[in-house]
Amino acid sequence: MTVATVRVRGADALTADALAPIRETLRHMAGRPDLPPLSGLEPGLVVTDPTGWVPATELVSGDALDDLLAAAARRWRAAPHAAAALAFKCYAYWLALPAVLGYAIVRRVPLLTPDAVLVRWSDERPFLRVGLAPSRRNTTGGGRGATGPGATVAVLPSDPVLLSGPGRGIRVVPDEPALLDQLRTALMDEHLAPIVEHLHARRHVGRRTLWGSLASGVAHGLSRAADVIPGGTLPVAQAVLAGLDVADLVEVTQRPDRAELAVSRRTCCLAFTLPEPQRRVCTGCCIREAGAIREAGPVRRRLVPAG
């Protein structure tokens, strides 16, 4: 596979043009009253002033992870392992959303490596917010005037950004499988996999449980944009889940009456272990009212928003 990073004539920082289709899709989703608010993403995606934000590299290294987990435990009044599972579910959903939407809408993927992402969290809602770090050049002089992200964007050779859009870093890959490889490397191998290992070691949460949350988040994120994804959402969701090697952790089918997908997890995010009044079973969870869930006491079945 041949991958080339090219300098496109124009400004040094990647401008809004490369992310415009993703931003437009997010604006469309935010305008739908039937969807949860996009409270976990920085408006406009790019953080203009990084003051108060934590580089995602500090989560990947583990240095800031205990603080995040402590906030999650306070936010949900959860046991340590459940707080870790829910914090990861929330983070994985918001982190992956811009990248998988970019692939689905225009086959253009911002590579969410740890050095390209900033995050902040709170005991209250929204639990966390994710944004793209501004380019290093734009953060000089006190962080003012930052207009573009520091993230590299992977595109296909036919992408019009190669003809008209200025860019700091555009990575050209030969085909869609190579584009999915880039998505997996940045999102999973370099970013989420080290966090999974930290959570497994520190809170004894199963790796399958955590990766199941990524699979569910990807499927739900694509489903919520189903009305604007060209060519049908189901084949795109199947391709992305297969490319990330998490297709076995979630069952995705087309709803017969609308564009959205029916998403069923094969793992549990542990929301059913929360104390009342927060205890609930997410829509599509593998846990049913029988068996273990009956032993845990009465629950309410609903979708638990990410955050």
CA–centroid distance for 134 within its chain: 18
3-state secondary structure of 153: strand
Instruction: Report the candidate in 229, 95, 103 with the shortest Cα–Cα distance to residue 173.
Output: 103
Q: Residues 175, 177, 178, 182: what is their CA dihedral angle, to the nearest 10 degrees?
A: 130
Written as six digits, the tokens of 76 are 């949900």
pTM: 0.84
Written as six digits, the tokens of 69 are 């987990």
CA–centroid distance for 77 within its chain: 24
pLDDT given for residue 82 in this prediction = 85
pLDDT given for residue 286 in this prediction = 59
Q: Are 260 and 280 in contact (CB under 8 A)?
A: no
Written as six digits, the tokens of 134 are 């501004």
CA gap 74, 124 in Å, rounded: 9
- Residues of the chain predicted below pLDDT 70: 1-16, 136-148, 164-168, 268-307
pLDDT given for residue 281 in this prediction = 56
CA gap 282, 148 in Å, rounded: 36
CA–centroid distance for 273 within its chain: 24
CA–centroid distance for 65 within its chain: 17
Query: 24 to each of 29, 43, 220, 296, how far by Cα in Å?
Result: 9, 11, 18, 43
